[in-house]
Chain A
Amino acid sequence: MLALAGDDLRTLSQPGGFQEALIRAGEIRLIGEVSEAAAHLGIPPHAFASLSVQRFMERAGDDEWTGLLSHLHDSISPLDTVLTVILRRAVADVMEISR
């Protein structure tokens, strides 16, 4: 999982990287939500995506990793699913602090 996330970070650091992953996962609405969350923090969307994954790796405990793995059970593309779950979490956190 750490190796997957490491590769993912390199892809995410390029503008457009996370959007491609979310399009593959069918998460079109989430692309807009990420842009909005990024704007609330004053950073570009790709930087928000990259920072979200980095923070998950730094802060996630066993419960969070177990929860993440449970989403991968039926996933066709684990990497895209990991990214979707993390970004949903990150967007929710930003929307809560922005109220």
Chain B
Amino acid sequence: MRLFDANDRVTSPPPMPIRVNGKEISVASIAREIQNHPAPDPSEARDAAAMALVVRELLLQEADNRGLAPEPKCLAEGRRETEDDAKVRALLDHALALPDPTDAECRRFYEGNRTRFRGPTIFEASHILITADPSKETAWLEAKSSAAAVIGELRDHPDRFTELARDLSDCPSAAQGGNLGQIQTGQMLAEFTAALEDLEPGETTALPVATDHGWHVIHLERRIAGQVLPYDSVKDKIADYLADSVFHRAVHQFVALLAGQATIEGIEIERATSPLVQ
């Protein structure tokens, strides 16, 4: 009895061995690395795994060429760097002299991207909730009908909202006539927020709005647009973001330079022969 035979062989020709300056990246190591690179296509995952190992090998060989052999550091939660991780860290610290972003650079980024620093929109709203379990079809439809009937009544008698909320709403806000006070984007369920965003101040939803809790009749009293946060409150986050972007670009370029100086077989990798940016 055989568990596997010739019919199980992959029909495409075996891939060329991948080597970095003569050192082979084994099929087994690529197979182990694949789980770190999920992709819809197995060959895409394999290529990503192979590339990651080639980049790692380039960095490790360069660290050895420079005679770097640092002590592995302790990481968070009691874990410790591997010796290879320590070498890569030391190499990048050694090879990439990256200045911190200046205040002028941070301000320039802030001025060019002000909408990214706008605070959330605030809504002053009320609602009437008719609870129902979405998985129970009859109860769900009955709740929707009740909510629709409330909307019909409010169309003719909009001043009855508070009274109807107190009598009918299953939300604790019923005690306050359905008043939710001031709520921000992100504090409510997505469907609820979307309904609020579609309303003009003073309007009530024309149709019941469904969420996991049941059916809602929503009234928007006022909308307050989010304010742009002052520079001083976001400058540290901007500095971190800019430093991170510069670091990733520098690593990418450094790896391309190493690849340009190396003999790499079995895989295509971006190469550079000179630094593009100082």
- Interface residues of chain A, those whose CB is within 8 Å of chain B, are 15-16, 32-33, 35-36, 38-45, 52, 55-56, 59-61, 64, 86, 89-90, 93-94, 97-98
Contacts and interface: CB of A to CB of B under 8 A. Distances in A.
A95 B1 CA distance: 15
B9 interface: yes
A42 B32 contact: no
Given A35-B32, A39-B31, A55-B3, 16 more contacts: A15-B35, A16-B35, A32-B28, A32-B32, A35-B31, A36-B31, A38-B31, A39-B30, A40-B10, A40-B27, A41-B8, A42-B42, A52-B4, A61-B1, A97-B5, A97-B6
Contacts of B1: 59-61, 64
15 contacts: A15-B35, A35-B28, A36-B26, A41-B8, A41-B10, A42-B10, A44-B35, A45-B31, A45-B32, A55-B3, A64-B1, A93-B4, A94-B4, A97-B4, A97-B8
Contacts of A33: 28
B157 interface: no
A92 B10 CA distance: 17
Secondary structure of the B side of the interface? helix
B210 interface: no
Given A44-B42, A98-B9, A93 B28 contact: no
Interface residues of B, number: 18
B31 A56 contact: no
B34 interface: yes
Contact of B9 (A32, A41, A45): A41
A92 B35 CA distance: 24
Contacts of B6: 97
B186 to A, nearest CB: 33
